[in-house]
């Protein structure tokens, strides 16, 4: 993979990515060390479990999944990452990645290289705080997922759809219509459900006129009712 210099100040993600809330000088400083990698295709590894930590990544376009493997060869999809979101934190503590990141579709991303991070900590306390903020945010999401994992199948799937919708909205995409770049298998894996259960529930949601499903395209028809399904959460 080749690296190219990027400019954060004219990036289309400027106010949803790292620099959010930083001064122009600070952004210029970041620009100096941020690199962009070229395009990946569905199934390509962004990094593998055990890979040396090379930095925090920001998704510019496309999406990715974080995957942990147990020693029976089962994949566990821990997280889905959308444009403007950061990944790589799983490599922060041990210099090695604790799980793999895999492209779900054609995607591009930027890198905040590990070797310049210490220097950034010293020069840009604002960035440091922002990174902590982001990592705290990720932890809260994990907590939510953990609470969710104890809830019945219907709630899990409803929450999954709502959460995707809200995250897409936050990034300026349509929150009511989107394409899932995941198979039923992958959704089920992520939520701890059998793929058949996912299929049945999507059908049920459609029958109840909460959503419209066309293969991997989802149209949310009644967000209110969908949210009612997870009354007990949040």
Q: Which residues contact DNA by CB under 7 A?
A: 152-154, 183-185, 188, 192-200, 202-203, 213, 215-216
Nearest distance from C-beta of residue 208 to its own copies, angstroms: 22
Among 72, 214, 215, 224, contact with its own copies (rule: CB under 8 A): 72
Residue 213 interacts with which of its own copies, DNA, none, CB < 5 to 8 Å by class: DNA
Q: Which of 32, 48, 52, 94 binds its own copies (CB under 8 A)?
A: 94
113 binds its own copies (CB under 8 A): no
Q: What is the DSSP string of 166-222?
A: HHHHHTTS-SSEEE--S-HHHHHHHHT--HHHHHHHHHHHHHTTSEEEETTEEEES-
CA angle 224, 229, 234 (to 5 degrees): 85
Q: How far is the CB of 140 from its own copies (least distance, A)?
A: 5
Within 10 A of 178 (CB to CB), how many other CB atoms are there? 19
Chain centroid, CA 163 distance in Å: 11
Q: Phi then psi for 150, rounded to 5 degrees?
A: -95, -5
Instruction: Single out the segment in contact with its own copies by CB under 8 A; choices: 10-18, 25-33, 85-93, 219-227.
Output: 85-93
For the CB of residue 136, give the shortest distance to its own copies in the complex, in Å.
Answer: 3
Residue 190 and residue 160 in contact, taking contact as beta carbons nearer than 8 Å: yes
Q: How far apart are CA 147 and CA 120, in angstroms?
A: 35
The residue ranges that bind its own copies (CB under 8 A) are 68, 70-72, 74, 76, 78, 89-94, 98-99, 118, 121-122, 125, 128-129, 131-140, 142-143, 145-147, 149-150, 192, 231-234
């Amino acid at each position: 993979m080749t690296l190219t210099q990027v400019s954060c100040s004219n990036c289309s993600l400027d106010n949803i990515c790292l620099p959010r809330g930083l001064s122009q000088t600070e952004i210029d400083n970041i620009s100096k060390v941020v690199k962009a990698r070229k395009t990946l295709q569905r199934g390509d590894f962004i990094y593998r479990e055990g890979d040396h930590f090379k930095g925090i990544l920001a998704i510019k376009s496309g999406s990715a999944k974080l995957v942990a493997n147990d020693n029976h060869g089962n994949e566990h999809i821990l997280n889905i990452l959308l444009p403007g979101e950061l990944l790589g934190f799983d490599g922060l503590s041990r210099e090695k990645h604790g799980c793999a990141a895999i492209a779900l579709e054609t995607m591009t991303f930027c890198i905040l290289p590990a070797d310049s991070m210490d220097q950034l900590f010293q020069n840009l306390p604002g960035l440091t705080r922002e990174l902590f903020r982001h990592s705290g945010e990720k932890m809260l999401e994990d907590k939510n997922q953990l609470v969710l994992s104890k809830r019945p199948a219907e709630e899990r799937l409803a929450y999954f759809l709502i959460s995707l919708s809200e995250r897409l909205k936050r990034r300026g995409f349509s929150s009511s219509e989107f394409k899932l770049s995941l198979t039923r298998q992958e959704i089920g894996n992520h939520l701890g459900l059998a793929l058949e259960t996912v299929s049945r529930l999507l059908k049920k949601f459609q029958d109840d006129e909460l959503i419209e499903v066309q293969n991997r395209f989802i149209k949310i028809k009644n967000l209110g009712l969908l949210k009612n399904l997870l009354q007990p959460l949040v």
